[in-house]
Structure 1
C-alpha cells in the first residue's frame, strides 16, 4: 500500500502539486481523486486540511481518502471569522472568543489532541488562542487557563 500525505485547502484540491506528481505515477484517475478529496473537505473551506490518500491496490487503482482535522489555529480563525492572528500579541488583539466557542473548537479537535478529557482539550485550545492573540470573554487566555485550573471556571 502506498500512502500520500499532504495538506490541501478545504474543497479546493487540484491535480497540480502536491497531489498530481505524487499520485500520477501510480496510474490513478487524478480527476476522480481530486473530486473525492474536494467532496470530503468542502466543510473545511478556507482552511488547510491534512489529507492522506492510501492507494490500497495499484493494480485495481483502489484507494481510500482519510481526512484529518485542521490545525487548532485554523479552527479558531474560522470560528471567529478572522483571517490571521495578531502580529504583536501583547499589543494587538486578533479577536475575542467566548468560552463556548473555545469549547466548540476543543470538541471538534478532541480526537487529535493529547488531552484525556474536555478540560485538557480546552486548555490546549486556549494555548493556541494565546499564540494567535485571541482573548476569551475579554480576558487573556492565560488568565482563563489559570481560572480553569483553580476551579473558578467549570468545564
Structure 2
C-alpha cells in the first residue's frame, strides 16, 4: 500500500452522494464512491450543521484504500453566510462595498478557521487578518455595527 496522491474536494456536511462531481475526482483513483460517501456522512452528520460546505483532503493509496481529513468551510463561504450574500460581485469595488461585516463576526470566523489541523498554531489575530483580506476581495467591508 503506497501513497498515490492527494485530492481536494468540497462536500456538504452529512449530504455527500455518489455523482458526477465525486466521480470525476475519485473514479480515476479507483476509490469506491459509495464507501467514501458513507464514511464522510457518518463523520460529519453529528459534528457539523447539515448542508454546510466542507473542505476535504483525501489521500488515495495504491490498493484503492483512502483516508481523508475534514476541514472547516472555506472562508468565503462563511463570510457569505454571515452577511447574507448568495455570491460575491464580479468586480469588487472598495469604494462601494456590497455588504458589511463586524469585527466580532470576523473573529468568530477566525476561531472556526483556527480549529483546522494546519492552523492550530497560528495566532487568532493573524487568521482574522486573513479573513479581513478575503472580505476585501469579496467586496465586503469591515465596520462596527453602529457605524453609519
Same fold (TM over 0.5): yes
- Consecutive unaligned residues in structure 2, runs of 5 or more: none
Q: Corresponding residue for 2:7?
A: 5
Q: 1:28 to 1:71 in 2, by over 3 A?
A: closer
Q: Distance in 1 between matches of 2:6 and 2:22?
A: 8
Q: Distance in 1 between matches of 2:32 and 2:16?
A: 14
Q: 1:81 to 1:39 in 2, by over 3 A?
A: farther
Q: Distance in 2 between matches of 1:89 and 1:122?
A: 21
- Consecutive unaligned residues in structure 1, runs of 5 or more: 140-155
Task: Say how many residue pairs are matched.
Answer: 136
Give the deviation of 1:100 after TM superposition: 1.0
Q: Corresponding residue for 1:97?
A: 101
- Give the alignment's TM-score, normalised by structure 1: 0.65
Query: Considering only CA atoms, is the larger Rg found in Structure 1 or Structure 2?
Result: 1
Q: Distance in 2 between matches of 1:119 and 1:23?
A: 37
User: For 1:21-74, what per-residue CA distance to the aligned partner results, in whole angstroms no more than 9, with x for missing partners?
Assistant: 453465543212123224445537353x3322334572xx64322122332212
